Amino acid sequence: SPIQPPDLTQCQKADVPGGSSPKCCLPSDPVKATDFQIDASLPMRVRMASHLLDAAYITKYNRAYELMRALPDDDPRSFSQQASVHCAFCQSAYLQKNSNEKLQIHFSWLFYPWHRWYLYFHERILAKMLNDDTFALPFWNWDNQAIFSPLPNVIPAVFIENPALVDNTRAPSHQPPTLVDLTYSGKPGGLDPEQQRAENNNLMHQELVSGAKTPSLFFGQAYRAGDANAPGPGSVERAPHTAVHLWTGGDMGNFGTAGRDPIFYSHHANVDRLWNVWKSLGGRRKDITDPDWLNAEFVFYDENATLIKVKVGDAVSTEKLRYTYQNVPNPWITHIS
């Protein structure tokens, strides 16, 4: 049977490795969640590449985080609580319902849909801060190895030049113009830019095209009610996703603190975009049809601080959720090394 949302009143207070130990517990009142309803009246929002934003959009984007950061810490929409959501579900702050197994949404087939929902509500809260239903989260287009300025595959300037979008803990040696290393695991690769681009393209081709021909290769292993957590990640989760966390460094380098860096949400918007790109590649690259995946449920606080219960099956179409992605080149699709 499918994974159920945890009881938020039963928080285990997970510790974050590395000293700082934020309480990952989420507000547990009200404990009864409302079922998600698709709001078909929402305008179609377009998530744009973060290196291509215009000045007006950047001002709005920074303002949204400024307002989110200004909310009181106990508001589930506040920036610190938004970061706690990630900490809670990756540091096992909760047990699975009716089970002694710790709930963890990484390293399994829940990785993709859970993060899609997390970003969905995060984006709706930012839109509410701005009173602008057209607001959409930009995506960090790190897989795009274009050579023209502004470069997509460095830390985009928007996250360096706008105070509410900055996190001072990022790795000092990975500031622009250093290119992102999509195979990074802690050691500098020592490649020149041309080699780095080729290696990044190879990795993307492998994790989305040649090495992700089936749903389970792409999404990761089945994770059902009562199962031990972390049965195994899918290709994108394991490789470029984790490499970008570690390479960015600081808060981003640890799942317990990653949500404290605004670039996190833009990193995950790109991961989310790649789900759509993968499905467009054809063959057996389709969503999972197992009811234990489609009926798995999560809870999130929405833009009105109401606790909402969602299903994986309601997240398989971004169009139904009323958002889409700006078209950008995906040169790694046809890349042959």
Binding site for ligand C2O (CB under 6 A): 86, 90, 106, 115, 241, 245, 255, 258, 268
Nearest-approach distance from CB 252 to ligand C2O, in angstroms: 8
Nearest-approach distance from CB 45 to ligand C2O, in angstroms: 21
Our CB check for ligand C2O shows the closer of 33 and 236 to be 236
Nearest-approach distance from CB 268 to ligand C2O, in angstroms: 6
Our CB check for ligand C2O shows the closer of 67 and 298 to be 298
Residue 92 near residue 104, CB atoms below 8 Å: yes
Our CB check for ligand C2O shows the closer of 245 and 273 to be 245
Among 46, 48, 120, 50, smallest CA distance to 85 is for 120
CA 199 to chain CA mean position, Å: 23
Nearest-approach distance from CB 114 to ligand C2O, in angstroms: 8
- Residue 329 has what DSSP assignment? -
3-state SS assignment for residue 127: helix
Among 183, 199, 181, 209, smallest CA distance to 274 is for 209
Our CB check for ligand C2O shows the closer of 182 and 258 to be 258
* Catalytic positions: 86, 106, 115, 241, 245, 255, 268
Half-sphere exposure of 175 (CA within 13 A, CB side): 12
Name the CA radius of gyration of the chain, rounded: 19
Nearest-approach distance from CB 264 to ligand C2O, in angstroms: 7
Our CB check for ligand C2O shows the closer of 119 and 127 to be 119
Q: Which residues of 141-176 are buried (b: 16+ CB within 10 A; e: fewer)?
A: bbbbbeeeeebbbbbbebbeebebbbbebbbeebee
